Amino acid sequence: MARERIISTQSTGAVEDVFNHALRPERLAEMVGQRSVIEKLSIAIEAATHRGEPLEHILLDGPPGLGKTTLAHVIANEMGAKNTRVTSGPALAKQADLLTLLTQMEAGDVIFIDEIHRLPRPVEEFLYPAMEDFRVDFTIDGGLGGRVVNFALKPFTLIGATTRAGMLSAAMRDRFGHQHHLEFYSTEDLKRIVQRSAGKLDIAGDGEALGRVASRSRGTPRVANRLLKRVRDFAQVRADGQLTADVVEQALDIQQVDSMGLDELDRAFLRSLIEVYGGGPAGIEAIAATMGQERDTLEDVVEPYLLQIGFLIRTRQGRQATKAAYEHLGLAVPADSQPGLF
């Protein structure tokens, strides 16, 4: 059985989703970080509200765990939507699945489609007239006896979320009036998020302790809240429920999360690259074979954060470790290292 990766940016399931939902902000004014996106959305929402029109469709892209679902619910609240319907690309396997959702929408409602890049092509094309003209044409019964029925839809706002914007077709992307990219959060913003979550969970902790949780959260609110839960559990069992910097250090040492937010899989990747391949360049297939991991796991789960913090670079020849990676692992930097990397 695979070991849970505590610093994974992916949701661990329904239980965590319910937990995070309780910690979500409900209004734009409560949102932390993503300042440029929030400002643009607040202007668009205010303008649409004054005109009495539904907000133009919105596309949110960025790595998992940055709050795309949260932001969708906040937008719906700001627009006064009666209903917010949540689904995902893989769940809409056929046109009838989407038709059911669309025909249930009331004027001004919001539909949120996560992983929208995974919509099957027939479903995606079925969505085009719904987004543009608030209508759909549905074929009842196939073959010679089939007939097309036109359904008029009430004006709604579609919010699509994707972690892979490059996989969206140009036709789909162009139908979104607003397109926003979510960035990783700064440590200061994450500290504010952790402080808010700690308040809602009635966790007593000083600023330094909560700051250390934030600094190891890989720029991601979902990871920050998950680490906060683990630290809370440790404090309740070993430290009378009080969060201090030392308690946080002890709790995260047990979880094998170091000062930069790296876990054992991250460190194993870097060690394989440095110790087996001399720091690189090395192909991802070779590294995956050495580690006994799937290539997709390394590319989607490990590499993004290592690239973000400057421990890894991608070259035409393959992956290469930087001086910062050597220093973090306490390894000697090779004398013949390339100046551009070090």
Q: List, by residue number, the catalytic residues.
A: 68-69, 114, 163, 222
Which residue, among 200, 227, 183, 212, has the nearest Cα to 67 in the 3D structure? 183
Hey, what are 194's tokens?
């952790």
Close Cβ partners of 156 (under 8 Å, ≥ 6 residues apart)? 54, 102, 105, 107, 108, 109, 110, 111, 134
Residue type, 342: F
Hey, what are 147's tokens?
């007939």
Which residue, among 224, 95, 83, 78, has the nearest Cα to 151 in the 3D structure? 95
